[in-house]
Amino acid sequence: MSSARETTRDRSEELFARAVELMPGGVNSPVRAFRAVGGMPQFIRSANGATITDVDGRTYIDYVGSWGPMILGHADPEIVAALQEAATRGTSFGAPNELEVELAEEIVDAVPSIEMVRMVNSGTEATMSAIRLARGVTGRNKLVKFEGCYHGHGDSLLVKAGSGVATLGLPDSPGVPASLAENTLTAPFNDLDSLEQVFKQHADIAAVIIEPIVGNMGCVPPQEGYLKAVRELTSRHGTLLIFDEVMTGFRVARGGAQQLYGVMPDITTLGKIIGGGLPVGAYGGSRDLMDHIAPVGPIYQAGTLSGNPLSMTAGLTTLKRLRDLSIYETLERATSKLCNGLSAAAEDAGIETVINRVGSMWTGFFNREPVTNWTTANKSDRKLFGRFFHAMLDHGVYLAPSQFEAGFVSLAHSDEIIDRTISAAGKAFDSIKG
């Protein structure tokens, strides 16, 4: 692995100079622009296993994993071979195909609350469609979301959003009509009393949408009993509960967070892993609920590339592999070793950190108190994180360029790679202390 100190960044700099003239901020998704950490983004040429390589030839241990999908590692040979074979049969049909049926069967078999599923093309599309379904079925307009949670860039969902919105310190987005914003109510995550107050003040709530394990203000787990209490509260008020499992689905368990915590939502949204690294999304629920979707029911939703054979191939190959539950045990051990090592390295350097983890999702916060919601996450030292981020780059480790994003461990992160990461972190912490 070539060190970041041994090569120039000429090619990345050249590409970025071209990109900023052609794309807003030089990127196609805001967090990639490095605005929160400073400096200039790497342009990636290739990825393999647990590593990515930039256009200047530097290779990094990668904990972004394309923001979650690469649970088996980059360029997994079985997925690559399956895609190559599928591409020879055509890349898009705009018609039903066998692969989408098989992927739907895998999802229904794995996710406890889903009896029927509709494929879409992104997590954003999945959450937008789930909310439309909830509003259409209940005849109500209001939506409750949680501060710091990000569910894609749909208009109703950019109120007090996490992810890139929090990373860049942006206000609620211009371009969202006031009438839509007025129908979006917010409450702090892990605060049941606040949610109960929202229900006391509003009788027409169609849905509550929640990341059961937050990944978009960093990894923030639910406190014990919280999800069950939210489930009971929504049921009592005739409000549908939407679990946004775009990040957690097939990541924290084969059946997602709802299997892990034993809580059944009405609607589940999925993405990332179910596409095996290709663009995909899905939403699903009970048969009675999903029968409201066109062409069976009156609630319209469509997509030209939904069920695309390449995305279905990569997703199906991945989900079949994840039938082997020992994979989750391997990921648990590797991520536990990583987080324990990072915590010890920070302590040795005299730097205060809080590391949150569920399964192979994790975040190290530069914080002095437990991180349980957006208020506590927002107390993290962004500048210190930025210095740590660049120090880790210098030592060959690629983290998400934001304090408020989760990191991910893949099956390709071996003990040797974890040990190298912990060693790099020790050097990075030493370089930023004081």
**Spatial CB neighbours of 432, under 8 Å, sequence gap ≥ 6:** 351, 384, 387, 388, 391
Q: Measure the CA–CA gap between 233 and 196, rounded to whole angstroms.
A: 8
Q: Can you list the alpha helix ranges (DSSP code H) found in 38-191?
A: 77-87, 98-110, 123-138, 164-167, 178-182
- Residue 407 DSSP label: E
Q: Which of 54, 62, 244, 266 is catalytic?
A: 244
Please give the structure tokens belonging to residue 190.
Answer: 């892990």
CA distance readout (Å), 225 to 107, 146, 231, 424: 26, 17, 10, 37
At position 14, the amino acid (one-letter code) is E
**Spatial CB neighbours of 5, under 8 Å, sequence gap ≥ 6:** 394
Q: Measure the CA–CA gap between 300 and 238, rounded to whole angstroms.
A: 23
Could you confirm whether 272 is annotated as catalytic?
yes
Which strands make up the sheet holding 44-48, listed edge to edge?
44-48, 51-54, 59-62, 397-398
Q: Which of 266, 272, 328, 398 is catalytic?
A: 272
Furthest CA-CA distance within the chain? 63
CA distance readout (Å), 378 to 168, 261, 372, 386: 12, 26, 10, 15
Q: Which of 60, 63, 150, 283 is catalytic?
A: 150
CA distance readout (Å), 33 to 27, 111, 151, 157, 398: 6, 35, 20, 22, 14
Please give the structure tokens belonging to residue 61.
Answer: 């241990």
Q: Measure the CA–CA gap between 91 and 310, rounded to whole angstroms.
A: 6
Please give the structure tokens belonging to residue 72.
Answer: 């088996």
The answer to whether residues 373 and 191 touch, using CB atoms and an 8 Å cutoff, is: yes
**CB neighbourhood size of 43 (10 A):** 18
Mind telling me the catalytic residues? 150, 244, 272
